[in-house]
Amino acid sequence: MLHRIAIVASRIDIPGGQGVQAAALLRCLRESGRDVIFVVINPRFPRGLSFLHAVPYARTILNQVLYLPGLVRLRHADVVHVFAASYWSYLLGPVPAMLVARTLGKRVVLHYHSGEADHHLTGWGPLVHPWLRLAHKIVVPSDYLRQVFARHGYQTRVIPNVVDTSSFRYRERVPLRPWLVSTRNLEPYYALDNTIAAFAILRERYPGARLTIAGYGGEEARLRRLAAVLSPDAVQFVGRVEPAAMPALLDEVDIFVNSSVVDNQPVSVLEAFAAGLPVVSTGTGDLANMLRDGETGLIVPSRDPAAMAKAIISLFEDPDRAAMMARRARREVEKYTWAQVGTQWTAVYAGKPW
């Protein structure tokens, strides 16, 4: 039996996190012939009220006014697939969707993504645990999150994030150029200041090196100032890059770098794998499992620019090893394609045991 599915998630035109993964699942489900409803947690504000995005409490109230009536559409679904992150976003988006779905007698699948899960589950008590029990099944994208939930007494199913590898052109970087890229948003938990500092050290050895930073966020002004001081004219901030434009960006550059201090299973790293980029990253969250150090990438300590620069330099000192890791990573990313994960979602929607 093919179940009609409602996906409740952030808008798919917002790069990063839930939006990219929701867009990928919507596309794959529809292309496989599934009937899918999409309910947006953060609807667009009417043009005349768009200024309220800058007013915190008013923004939240208007968002809920626009979001909650859309949940009536869940009555048309058999299964309600709810994307979730941590803290207040969990209470404002997923919880109402699960309550409505349960009231309507629908099967609820909670798809939890946040790398801050341990702190959320530990510190939020009655604001998180009673609502988790509304889900018939909790799905997480990584073994790292499975272990976090297990420590709090929850059984979860691991289904990896999905990546459309066919959108990315794999090519080997020969010769390997000192052109780095980061595609993480400009927020504190991605620690882009560490990337910029590591790049400055790299330029002492390779003065012609370049760094492209694709993303947006509250840290942008500070990071621009830091880059101007440490590496004037060598760091390019390209702003928000739409998912459809990401393959072209990754095709231009040669090394992917990531300095996150809070993370889970970033799709940006999987996209780098698909494009053939050697990856240097911290090992937070599930990254150490994705990037087996020395096999599919290089792992460095958090907030250690010197270690990151040293790892990047090692790629130039042994380009054959860098190419070998990129090839292994490209094979590894096949585990994250729809051909591999689609049947797992079908089983979850049908309520099959594993």
Nearest to 180 by CA among 1, 305, 2, 85: 305
Transcribe 307-342 into DSSP letters.
HHHHHHHHHHH-HHHHHHHHHHHHHHGGGGSHHHHH
Residue 306, token pair as written in the block: 């010197």
Please give the single-letter amino acid code of residue 242. E
Neighbour-count burial of 220, counting CB atoms closer than 10 A to its CB (0-12 exposed, 13-18 middle, 19+ buried): middle
In this chain, the answer to whether the domains covering 5-162+337-350 and 165-335 adopt an identical fold is yes
pLDDT at 14: 58
The predicted pLDDT at position 122 comes to 95
C-alpha distances (whole Å) from 311 to each of 106, 171, 281 are 50, 21, 9
Query: What is the arrangement of strands in the sheet containing 5-9, beginning at the earlier edge strand?
Result: 36-40, 5-9, 79-84, 107-112, 137-140, 157-158
Q: What is the DSSP letter of 16?
A: S
**Average pLDDT of each block of 10 consecutive residues along the chain (354 residues)?**
86 67 91 93 86 80 91 96 94 97 97 93 94 96 95 96 94 95 95 98 97 95 98 95 93 98 92 97 93 96 98 96 97 94 94 76
Fold (CATH) for 5-162+337-350: Rossmann fold (3.40.50)
Would you say 96 and 125 are in contact if contact means Cβ atoms under 8 Å apart? Answer: no
Taking residue 26's Cβ as centre, other Cβ atoms within 10 Å add up to 18
Structure confidence at residue 20 (pLDDT): 82
Query: Could you tell me which CATH class the domain 165-335 is placed in?
Result: alpha beta
Q: Where are the domains of the chain?
A: 5-162+337-350, 165-335
Looking at residue 63, what is its pLDDT?
Answer: 85
Query: Is the omega angle on the peptide bond into residue 160 within 30 degrees of 0, that is, cis?
Result: no
Calculate helix-pair angle for 192-205, 220-230, nearest 10 degrees. Answer: 10
Residue 110, classed as helix, strand or coil, is strand
User: What 3 state SS string does 185-234 have?
Assistant: CCCHHHCHHHHHHHHHHHHHHCCCCEEEEECCCCCHHHHHHHHHHHCCCC
Residue type, 203: R
